[in-house]
Chain A
Amino acid sequence: MSLSIETQTLMAYIDGELEAAECQQVEQALDAQPQLRQQYDQLSQLDGLLGAALSPALQGVQPELDSSKPAQHSQAWWQRLLQPCWWRQFGVVMAWRAGGATALLVMGVLIGSGYERQAQQKALVAQQQQLQHVIDQALETRLSGDSMLWGDGAGSITPVRTYRSRHGQFCREFVFHGGDAVIVDARGGVACRDEQGWQIKAHYYL
């Protein structure tokens, strides 16, 4: 007996979309045709793989849904129209009065800003060095999937994959979570280990 089962029918069987009589027909064909059975297994396995691949979205704490935003949009048109008027007028008066004081402040800030900029740059360099140290530590000591916190727990780095390059170097892919965007503007990267330690080869910005 040779039953010709179309791929879409086989898929409909897997998806539970066939009537009992059609199911029986497919099952007979599956018993009789090893190749069809193999394709059935492949398709069934694919569904399992898809579910497993996307399961990280189900795991962990879900981000809190913010229900406050629609409340602003749900105001009536006349409310939206009226609301800004009074504070705009008030704001214009206050802005003129504040203008003189602001000008004085700006002069003072400009004088001090040179020193401040230098201090900021120093702090940034120190933070970058600290980050590099954490990257080295995480890539050296953590298994793939294990995170290391940095910046007082504000961010973390997680090695996600390890492989050996064609030059024999160990390389690891890693991702950043959270953290200060000034210090870490990338989402992750790849680093390879040489005699000096872990050298970052690429950053991901997607």
Chain B
Amino acid sequence: MNRSRSQTIQSIVALQPRLRRFAYGLSGSMDEADDLVQSAFERALQRLDQWQQGTRIDSWMYRIVQTGWLNRLRAGRVRGEHLASVELEEQGSDRSQRQTEAQMLLDKVRHCIQKLPPDQRAPLLLISVEGLSYKEASEVLDIPVGTLTSRLARGRVALLVMMEPTTATGLNEAGSVKPQSNQRQSRSDSGVVI
């Protein structure tokens, strides 16, 4: 194995945690994420000569993970939402209220991510979580920047509406800021389903 190839493989291995996070966000399952990353790794090794020196290897790998996930979706190998859903009635935990609430909130975020359509989920993850620029994300997803920003906005607004239906009404993914509803409702009153 020549040095350049070896270095490239090392770079890919170093990306594993970020690829895993991206795959976890896409699939909603850590097992599925690990499987996606492993498949992407194999595919990358097979096609290492297709990666162009000087371009970002992380973008290339995100693209392979995303393509693998879409292929699984199309083949029906991904069952949709993996996260467990339990109706929370009254909290009663050994942990402190604050810790339990924080855990609940993060569970809810993961749950809501999985409710987003796939075409909104991927831009949101690449930009909000992975920190890619609009241009980089549009290249990963192979869509124009305008389409990307539109999907990103729809995804963010949809997520906010799912998280806080009453407070997110002032946001409109396509237009300007709308007046906010005065009828605010506390989270505990809104019948949160996790």
Contact = CB atoms under 8 A, between A and B. Distances in A.
Given A54-B25, A162-B94, A170-B92, A7 B175 contact: yes
Interface string A3-20: 011111011100111000
Contact of A35 (B21, B43, B177): B177
B13 A65 contact: yes
B69 to A, nearest CB: 14
Contacts of B153: 7-8, 11
A178 to B, nearest CB: 11
Q: Which of A51, A58, A161 has the most CB of B within 10 A?
A: A161
B57 interface: no
Given A65-B13, A163-B86, A143 B149 contact: no
Contacts of A52: 106, 109
Contacts of A173: 84, 86
A73 interface: yes
B52 interface: no
B11 interface: no
Interface in B172-191: 172-177, 179-180
Interface of A: 4-8, 10-12, 15-17, 33, 35-36, 38-39, 42-43, 46-47, 49-58, 62-63, 65-67, 69-70, 73-74, 143-145, 160-166, 170, 173, 175, 188, 190, 204, 206
12 contacts: A4-B176, A7-B176, A46-B156, A46-B163, A50-B109, A53-B113, A70-B43, A144-B95, A162-B92, A162-B94, A166-B90, A206-B82
Given A33-B177, A188-B84, 12 more contacts: A7-B172, A35-B170, A38-B180, A42-B171, A49-B109, A50-B25, A50-B124, A53-B106, A54-B125, A73-B42, A74-B45, A162-B94
